[in-house]
Structure 1
Amino acid sequence: MRDVRVCIVGDEGVGKSSLISSLIKEAFVKLAPRTTLPEVTIPASVTPGHDVTTLIIDTSPRPEDRSHLVNEIRKAHVVAIVYAIDNPNSFDRVPTYWLPTIRSLGVNVPVILIGNKIDLRQGQVTNQGLEDEILPIMQEFKEVETCVECSAKIPLNVSEVFYFAQNAVLHPTAPLYDTREHTLKPSCTAALSRIFHLCDINKDGLLDDDELNDFQRICFDAPLQARELAGVKEVVAQLGSEGTTEGGGEENPGIVDGALTEQGFLWLHTYFIQKGRLETTWKALRTFGYGEDLSLREDWLYPRFDIPSDCTAELSPKGYQFFTDIFETFDKDHDGALSPHELDALFSTSPGNPWLAGGFPETTITSDSGAVTLQGWLAQWSMTTLLEPRVALAYLAYLGYPHTAAATSTTPLPSTSALLLTRPRKQDRKKGTVQRQVFLGYVLGAAGSGKTALLKSFVSGGGGAGRRGLGRHEPTMGKGKTVVNSVETGGGEKYLVLQEFGSNYESEMLRAPKKLALADVLIFVYDSSDTNSFSYISNLRQQYKLDDIPSLFVATKSDLDLAQQRHEVQPDHYCRRLSLRVPVAVSVKTGELAGVWDTVVGIAMHPLSAIPGGVTRPANRLGTYLYLTAGVGGVLAVGLILWRRAGGASWLGLGGAARS
């Protein structure tokens, strides 16, 4: 609920106080000359819509009351300038004195003009005559919203005066309509066009009766009756071509095959505005998230959705259903994939494709022609929701989720209903199983170890666009590469997001506890044909103490000759000492991946199975850790502690000292 503060100004004797008194008493009351009424409050319960309290402030133009007048104009939400129809001088002073005075105070609020004492007019004045009289003022002073003629004495149109004053604040004309050109403003046209396309459920460029009824229900909580639908079409037909196409003639651009076109939809709202029914257009705009400046509101795009540090966001079943439905709607050729043209159409109600900077569509599953499949589409949104939940929320709003996802409901769904929070990681690991559907793996390794090729193979789909260039080394540029795909498991389908980092950003990520905590699995990659490759990841583990995150080692290029690693302990032995499975040997070139992605997802679902050092870490783990991470390359171990347990005996070895 909000307040609307109406300041009534005008020359002496034009009937300002009488108008207020007539509104309150619902009858004319003769007041003493030079009377100024105290502030009047009209409660929300007696105003249309029951959602606004109106404060009406009477003022005096006398010099001794100047400070009060100025103060009230500055506090007003709308200023009503009253002139007397039987006093032409009072009308002439509207553009020569009152409007310049309001401007000189630096006040930027709507103004309405009130012609009082209509009962004293000599002869009849048509609407066209009134418009001709007022239009020059409205063209010079854009703050003037409308002009209403009334009589406090009869009374006539008194309540309408204050209704228009409220509307000037709640449903202003200026953002919507150019009174000089008599056209919708560009920002209003863009907003209404977007609403049209969101309500065009089958995307045929028309609003049929069902879609018009959905629009009516969403905005006004009630469907249109058959006669009302016919009335809407009749108005549009008259606006378009002074008649319909039935019986011959040119086609009406506002109505095609009995359905409303985009142009007809815009004409209809222009008609509402011109007839003073701005609340109709504003209701539609606000229902679809637009603010007073006709941009989408921050609270609409980014509703509050707090994610605790140990949790992540995923799409809910409603979210997955929405993205499935919109995919199928825009897949016009029904080939099971979205072409670039179809994607452009899909994102037409948004700022554009949010993934292009990240290399999309090579980040997910595509067809042989490079079009995004439904599997890839849902995977991409799963990744966005995990890594950038605010972007996911905003695009749900851009694409129409609160309304088009609730076509059978009278209450629009909040966009947050398309997301859900996962169970805290600590709780998951304590239980030993993970209930999440989307997992994140960081892929770490030396330059040239095959990380990028491994990620490309993950989204290649067994061939097609994703497999191009897998055999050659491509240095990771920028902050890295991110890909996503679905993986079938015994418990259904899971989504796996893989990230690798450019050499300049890998250490930055590993030094960021919050970033590191997001990982479900660390995937350490080394080139099995390069003698120095394994030392890099061994040193990485030692430097950043990566012992609390489930880990998997992957040996790439298994199609080449196996090289002896220049490391104190060979990879298989290194992993066994950490109670981890031995490295998975893969060859991207030959397509032999040894079920590595199933393994990664299995580790993510059962994290205790791949914690370095095992589920229970012995007190002597530091010694084991030093042994496993010691490098060679000409460096001698200063101290080495080995614990062996055999028949209760222990040995302590110090350098080359003899056993004691």
Structure 2
Amino acid sequence: MPKETIRVVICGDTGVGKSSLIASLVKGKYIPNVQDKLPPISIPKDYSSSPYSPKNTILIDTSNEDVTTLHKELKTADVIWLLYCDHDSYERVSLYWMMMFRSLGLNLPVVLAKTKCDNYDDSTVNLLSEDTKVEDQEFIPILMEFKEVDVCIKVSSRTQFNINQAFYLCQRSISHPVAPLFDSRVGELKPLAILALKRIFLLSDEDQDGYLSDPEILALQKKCFKKSIDVNELANIRELLEDVSYSEIDGSSGAYYEPGKGMTVDGFLLLNKIYAERGRHETTWGILRAFHYTDSLSIKAKVLYPKLNVSDSASVELSPKGYRFFVNLFLKFDKDNDGGLSEEELRALFKCTPGLPHLWSATNFPYATVVNERGCITLQGWLAQWSMTTFLDYKITTAYLVYFGFQEDAQLALQITKSRKMRRRNGRFYRSPVTDRKVFNCFIFGKPNSGKSSLLESFLGRPFSEAYSPTIRPRIAVNNLELKGGRQYYLILQEFGSQEFVTLENRDKLKECDVLCFAYDSSDPESFSYIVELFNKHRERIEGLPLIFVALKADLDKQQQRCQVQPDDFSESLLIDHPLHVSSTWLSSLNELFVKITEVALVPGDSTVGLPLESKFENEDYKQTVIMLCSTAGFVALLSYTFVKVFRSKYN
């Protein structure tokens, strides 16, 4: 946001014309007799100017006789407008004034102006080139020695020469600071500016060919400045870059402009370097701010992380617009059109971001979702990965939408589901049916080596492996599946390894869970007792959640469980379904399990511990079916009664 009010403190040796300059600026003409020190003067914003200009600018005149007040005013300043007029006052700029600013600990932009340049006016300045060069040479040592000095300019209160321009430069030093962009001592763009501009180049290079074509330059101009670039200016840019053969921006060689292709990234950097050298850095800022960069060259936090009102029991998912954006992004970077993103294509895709999200690295991307035979993430896996990311931490998604160049407010790519409601039956609370969600989260618990990891691998369509590798850190898998009627959902499966007990003790973590899946090895007689112990220890936290039991490794010989209660009896005592028998080698059983998990997430009451199955009537689809059947039966009964009555009256 532009600064509302800026304070410009005008200082310099006695007699350099501080008060005359202020009066000339305010009145628009030369005032011959002005008092020694003027009171503070407020100048409101000209609303035809840049939207980043301050709403109000206060000019503070100073006197060298009261040093204490001078120091006080300087410490409250936003900009220092330092004046000199002759050789003696020029020498004191370096020896006295700049040293004073530093001794006061000031880190403010300084606009240096040579006053009483009465021989200049707007019509003659370009004709007096030799004299201009002499005075420019006065500025160079100061610019080289003092990084605080933003710009130097010649002015005249008598002829009004450059008065308004100098005032604009004071405002611009705040609204469009050159210091973050350009190092005047070495004459180069600063590293952060180069990184930001390179990212903007990548986002503007729509066809990803390494060049900004004329249509892409025009599109960038339209985005940044809301108007088309002048044809002559585009030709001038092209001619300027074509005249230079090799890059000097970052030490690399290469053409700045390729005929028939367009501007290279080095050409884009050179162009912005020239803007900074020629005092046109507001053009560079126009580009940067269109891509949400702040004065510190970081992207605005409120753009990366827009505030969403999400209740504890609601979730966040991608909206259709969000899915469409990620589909287009995938297709844009799948250069070989093989349906997968290779490591090279992923590097190119994430080049305009800080890199892979930490959540992805921590969950073994891309192997937490669907990949092809070469290990490249597919479009199916890509969309599943972002569905999972949005569900688990939507702030990652909003930030990366901005990094990837999403043109609108990132909130438009998301949608918030309805808050989960709790109902009560027979003294027990349970979750009401879900109607508006497409992403569900399932926690899987079970004894080590019971087959949980193989289950996750099978969910991602990977072949069964006999090799056993114990799960140390939590694992995750996400994929989409289709229910009857063509309804599409995304299912997240998580196993926790050695952190199972910790997870079940964490109430906040359990709030993220839609279905608890307790899995045991049906061929291991010791496996189910682990489940019973786990359940009994954490029963208080589990009872309000939907729960299913799964008997894994069902292709092996079934064993009687060495446990005080058998799986079927235990599930009956909890008033939930018997365990599903599943094997990673039986594809139909796997599909049945994943569909079952999703259906339980949609209608949690049917699988909530201790809740009678009457709760199924809370399912709207089921209720409508029952109502329809009852209505049909009633209609048939009424029709039969009428037919019998008519028949009897006719024949009696």
Q: What are the Cα deviations for residues 167-188 of structure 1, in whole angstroms up to 9, with x where unaligned?
A: 1112111111121221111111
Does the Cα contact within 8 Å between 1:541 and 1:547 map onto a contact in 2? no
Does the Cα contact within 8 Å between 1:255 and 1:264 map onto a contact in 2? no
- Of residues 17-26 and 602-611 in structure 1, the stretch that sits farther from structure 2 once superposed is 602-611
Cα deviation for residue 467 of structure 1 reads 3.2
Q: What are the Cα deviations for residues 493-544 of structure 1, in whole angstroms up to 9, with x where unaligned?
A: 11001111122x2122111212101111111100001112112112222221
Aligned residue for 1:439? 440
Q: Does 1:608 align with 2:605?
A: yes
Does the Cα contact within 8 Å between 1:453 and 1:473 map onto a contact in 2? no
Q: Quick one: distance in 1 between partners of 2:558 and 2:573?
A: 21
1:524 is paired with a residue whose SS is: strand
Q: What are the Cα deviations for residues 84-117 of structure 1, in whole angstroms up to 9, with x where unaligned?
A: 1xx2111111111111111110000111100111
Q: Does 1:329 align with 2:328?
A: no
Q: Quick one: distance in 2 between partners of 1:365 and 1:115?
A: 68
Give the total of aligned pairs: 588
Q: What are the Cα deviations for residues 334-386 of structure 1, in whole angstroms up to 9, with x where unaligned?
A: 00100111111111111112212321111000001100000000000111111
Aligned residue for 1:3? 5
Aligned residue for 2:14? 12
Cα 1:71–1:46 change in 2 (3 A) is farther
1:495 is paired with a residue whose SS is: strand
Aligned residue for 1:657? none
Aligned residue for 2:415? 420
Aligned residue for 2:511? 517
Q: What are the Cα deviations for residues 373-404 of structure 1, in whole angstroms up to 9, with x where unaligned?
A: 00000000111111121211211121111x2x
Q: Does 1:562 align with 2:558?
A: yes
The letter for the 2-side match of 1:610 is S
2:98 is paired with a residue whose SS is: helix
Q: Quick one: distance in 2 between partners of 1:473 and 1:535?
A: 21
Does the Cα contact within 8 Å between 1:151 and 1:158 map onto a contact in 2? yes
Q: Quick one: distance in 2 between partners of 1:276 and 1:124?
A: 19
Q: Quick one: distance in 2 between partners of 1:284 and 1:126?
A: 35
Aligned residue for 1:26? 28
Q: Quick one: distance in 2 between partners of 1:615 and 1:154?
A: 93
Cα deviation for residue 5 of structure 1 reads 1.2
Q: Does 1:222 align with 2:227?
A: yes
Q: Quick one: distance in 2 between partners of 1:352 and 1:509?
A: 29
1:119 is paired with a residue whose SS is: coil
The letter for the 1-side match of 2:497 is G
Q: Quick one: distance in 1 between partners of 2:327 and 2:220?
A: 22
Q: Quick one: distance in 2 between partners of 1:448 and 1:515?
A: 24
Cα 1:615–1:72 change in 2 (3 A) is farther
- Of residues 352-361 and 421-430 in structure 1, the stretch that sits farther from structure 2 once superposed is 421-430
The letter for the 1-side match of 2:338 is D
Q: What does 1:289-304 align with in structure 2 at a 5 Å threshold?
A: 289-304=292-307
Q: Quick one: distance in 2 between partners of 1:196 and 1:399?
A: 12
Cα 1:436–1:332 change in 2 (3 A) is same
Q: Does 1:172 align with 2:153?
A: no
Q: What are the Cα deviations for residues 586-634 of structure 1, in whole angstroms up to 9, with x where unaligned?
A: 111455525211111111122222112235799xxxxxxxxxxxxxxxx
Q: What does 1:103-142 align with in structure 2 at a 5 Å threshold?
A: 103-119=102-118, 125-142=130-147
1:174 is paired with a residue whose SS is: coil
Q: Quick one: distance in 2 between partners of 1:511 and 1:179?
A: 59
The letter for the 2-side match of 1:540 is L
Which of 573, 579, 583 is residue 577 of structure 1 equivalent to?
A: 573
Aligned residue for 2:582? 586
Q: Quick one: distance in 1 between partners of 2:202 and 2:340?
A: 21
Q: Quick one: distance in 1 between partners of 2:529 and 2:159?
A: 96
Q: Quick one: distance in 2 between partners of 1:521 and 1:251?
A: 57
Structure 2 stretches lacking a partner, 5+ long: 248-252, 424-429, 616-652
Cα 1:550–1:322 change in 2 (3 A) is same
Does the Cα contact within 8 Å between 1:118 and 1:149 map onto a contact in 2? yes
Does the Cα contact within 8 Å between 1:139 and 1:180 map onto a contact in 2? yes
Q: Does 1:596 align with 2:593?
A: yes
Q: Quick one: distance in 1 between partners of 2:488 and 2:494?
A: 20
Aligned residue for 1:94? 93
Q: What does 1:310-459 align with in structure 2 at a 5 Å threshold?
A: 310-354=313-357, 355-401=360-406, 403=407, 413-426=408-421, 432-459=433-460
2:8 is paired with a residue whose SS is: strand
The letter for the 2-side match of 1:57 is I
Aligned residue for 1:43? 44
Cα deviation for residue 258 of structure 1 reads 4.8
1:257 is paired with a residue whose SS is: coil
1:476 is paired with a residue whose SS is: coil
**TM-score with structure 1 setting the length:** 0.85
Q: Quick one: distance in 2 between partners of 1:91 and 1:599?
A: 84
Q: Quick one: distance in 2 between partners of 1:130 and 1:252?
A: 35
Cα deviation for residue 47 of structure 1 reads 6.9
Does the Cα contact within 8 Å between 2:432 and 2:604 map onto a contact in 1? no
- Of residues 414-423 and 426-435 in structure 1, the stretch that sits farther from structure 2 once superposed is 426-435
**TM-score with structure 2 setting the length:** 0.86
Q: Quick one: distance in 2 between partners of 1:128 and 1:303?
A: 51
Cα 1:128–1:471 change in 2 (3 A) is farther
Q: Quick one: distance in 1 between partners of 2:584 and 2:129?
A: 89
Does the Cα contact within 8 Å between 2:212 and 2:261 map onto a contact in 1? no
Cα 1:340–1:240 change in 2 (3 A) is same
Cα 1:440–1:261 change in 2 (3 A) is same
Q: Quick one: distance in 2 between partners of 1:254 and 1:129?
A: 35
Aligned residue for 2:545? 549
2:30 is paired with a residue whose SS is: coil
Aligned residue for 2:204? 199
Q: Quick one: distance in 2 between partners of 1:272 and 1:32?
A: 38
Cα deviation for residue 432 of structure 1 reads 2.5
Cα 1:130–1:229 change in 2 (3 A) is same
Cα 1:502–1:305 change in 2 (3 A) is same
Q: Quick one: distance in 2 between partners of 1:241 and 1:540?
A: 69
Which of 207, 211, 217 is residue 212 of structure 1 equivalent to?
A: 217
Aligned residue for 1:540? 534
- Of residues 65-74 and 232-241 in structure 1, the stretch that sits farther from structure 2 once superposed is 232-241
Q: Quick one: distance in 1 between partners of 2:260 and 2:538?
A: 68
Q: Quick one: distance in 2 between partners of 1:432 and 1:609?
A: 10
Q: Quick one: distance in 1 between partners of 2:516 and 2:355?
A: 33
Does the Cα contact within 8 Å between 1:552 and 1:581 map onto a contact in 2? yes
Cα 1:251–1:103 change in 2 (3 A) is closer
Cα 1:241–1:330 change in 2 (3 A) is closer
The letter for the 2-side match of 1:531 is P
- Of residues 250-259 and 174-183 in structure 1, the stretch that sits farther from structure 2 once superposed is 250-259
Structure 1 stretches lacking a partner, 5+ long: 243-249, 404-412, 619-660
Cα 1:98–1:316 change in 2 (3 A) is same
Q: Quick one: distance in 1 between partners of 2:204 and 2:546?
A: 47
Q: What are the Cα deviations for residues 2-30 of structure 1, in whole angstroms up to 9, with x where unaligned?
A: 21211100001111111110111000002
